[in-house]
Amino acid sequence: MAQYIPTLDYYSGGLPKACTMYASSECYFGLNLNPMCNPSEVSYTIMPNMAYFEFLPHEPNSPGLGVPVQPVDLANVEVGKEYELVITTYAGLYRYRVGDILRVTGFYNLAPQFQFIRRKNVLLSIDTDKTDEAELQAAIENASQLLREFNTSVVEYTSYADAKTIPGHYVIYWELLAKNSANSASDEVLDQCCLAMEESLNSVYRQCRVSDNSIGQLEIRVVKSGTFEELMDYAISRGASINQYKVPRCVSFTPIMELLDSRVVSTHFSPSLPHWVPERRC
């Protein structure tokens, strides 16, 4: 939920933010033993009495050859490595894959401590590129810095990989909050935001953009205020729990995309190619 920190700072006037635990509706997972730390430094100490925990090793850059990955138990995780969380609960969930990717940051006595990295399988991909939630979030943060001088921030966002165009391209939906509508960001600034996002994406994406011409210009579609509240209302009307609802960071469900497209107020594209140079091979 790192994208909400600037908004919380804005509305709270800089008050300290406390994060106490890591949990879901299925189970409590861990405690933050330093609840007043900086949000970017939060690590959770796993509580082994709450469930039986297992961890599937996760290699972000692994090609994935279909070989089954063997789970690791709590005592054998390694610092610096990433894992997908698997739980067996007292209530009867057996080897339930929570879908969270965690990174081991250290140990408290013998209990491992983890940092939440991202949700699993949130990917944008057109060609050989793969953009996950963490990378997309970092690109959004870098691009949104261009909006600061206009006292404008990104309230919410989502995305999808549009393969209907030739070549396909990334589409990012932004809902913006401007303190002063008379001094809002111009079309040129928002075009530069598109380029800033592309500059922040991985080398494979930029190679596909620059050298292979297999990915088109990144597009930002600005939607009107309240759009993401409407999206939440739609999800709840289809049975989603209001307590568990989270804005999807990548969408492909046609009714959701139609709702978003019906609320678009402006569209913007990268004005130029991002920087990319071939890697030298010895």
Per-residue model confidence as pLDDT tens digits over 187-245: 999 999 999 999 999 999 999 999 999 999 999 999 999 999 999 999 999 988 887 78
What pLDDT score was predicted for residue 280? Answer: 63
Number of Cβ within 10 Å of residue 277's Cβ equals 10
What pLDDT score was predicted for residue 66? Answer: 59
Enter the tokens of residue 142: 């870098």
Q: Using CB atoms within 10 A of its CB, is residue 243 exposed (0-12), middle (13-18) or buried (19+)?
A: exposed
Tell me, what amino acid is at 210? V
- In this prediction, what percent of the chain has a pLDDT beyond 90? 63
Please tell me the distance from the alpha carbon of residue 258 to that of residue 192, in angstroms, as a whole number.
26
219-223 vs 169-178, strand pairing mode:
parallel
What pLDDT score was predicted for residue 83? Answer: 94
Measured torsion, CA atoms of residues 257, 259, 262, 263, in degrees rounded to the nearest 10: -110
Query: Which residue is associated with the tokens 């970017």?
Result: 40
Query: Which residue is associated with the tokens 């709590």?
Result: 74
Domain spans of the chain?
2-119, 133-269
State whether residue 200 is helix, strand or coil: helix
The pLDDT tens digits for 70-104 are 999 999 999 999 999 999 999 899 999 988 899 99
**Residue 67 — φ and ψ, nearest 5°?**
-80, 125
Count CA within 13 A, CB hemisphere, residue 55.
24
Helix (H) or strand (E) holding 83: strand 82-88
Determine contact, residues 2/153, Cβ cutoff 8 Å.
no
CATH dotted code for 133-269: 3.30.300
Measured over all CA atoms, what is the biggest interatomic distance in the chain, rounded to whole angstroms?
Answer: 57
Name beta bridge partners: 52: 88
pTM value? 0.73
Q: What is the DSSP letter of 4?
A: G
